A and B are shown apart, each in its own frame.
Chain A
Amino acid sequence: MAKRAVEPEAALKPKPEAKAEPRSEAARPRLGQLVRLCVGAWLVPGLGHFLLGRRWRALILFVSIVMMFLLGLAMKGEFFSTQSDSILRTLGYFGEMCVGVAMPAARFFGYPGGDLFFASSDYGTAFLVAAGMLNVLCILDAYDIALGRKP
């Protein structure tokens, strides 16, 4: 009987979870540090998390985003440019640029910018832009971790 009375009480107790507390003004990183963190996180996917000491998360994010980008290249996705009449294509350019140095590096190593007549080119373009969007999420996540909003 006593054991059964204890169990519901134990079930009501909140489990200790990893919670982050916002940092005080003194411990808050300076603006320059935040900018460098965000720029680094933009240039190399996962670098922001790596600089904050979250190495496993950095590795997983790096592998996921780069894998997505490479799949986009393998499917001959299109590299957009700003010199187009369509606002969607301009937005697509900025989306692809959000991956960081990957797009210029691909061009440097000879990627021609896609092949619109290739069967999987549309899928590849979606992969390239989505990789950029995922990196934006990672940048914002690194920013939140730096401010102490997340563990």
Chain B
Amino acid sequence: MTSWLVTCHLSLVTGFNMVIQHFAALVLFSLPVSVVFGVISKDTPRERVLYGAKSFGLFVGFAVVLGWVMYLAAR
């Protein structure tokens, strides 16, 4: 299975290899980090879900903003 952001290659010899684009790596990184942050930081399930979602949104959002800032600064 191939996709625009992630290429996964299953081989009996080399095992499971994942070639990944930077943005996909960012999203995959942010997901478990946000989940853990939400679980350990808040006390009620609702607060945990909201905080985890907020954390994930901030991770990805700031990355997009910083990307544009760097792009404009480099021009």
Q: Is the interface of B mostly helix, strand, loop or mixed?
A: helix
A130 interface contact, C-beta 8 A: yes
Interface residues on A, range: 20 to 34
- Check A67–B32 contact: CB distance below 8 A: yes
- Check B17–A137 contact: CB distance below 8 A: no
B24 to chain A, nearest CB (A): 9
**Hey, what's the 0/1 contact readout for A100-133 against B, CB within 8 Å counting as 1?**
0000000000000000001110011011001100
- Check B44–A130 contact: CB distance below 8 A: no
A85 to chain B, nearest CB (A): 28
A41 to chain B, nearest CB (A): 12
B33 interface contact, C-beta 8 A: yes
CB nearest to A144 among chain B residues? B40
Q: Which residues of B contact A (CB under 8 A)?
A: 8, 16-20, 22, 25, 28-29, 32-33, 35-36, 39-40, 43-44
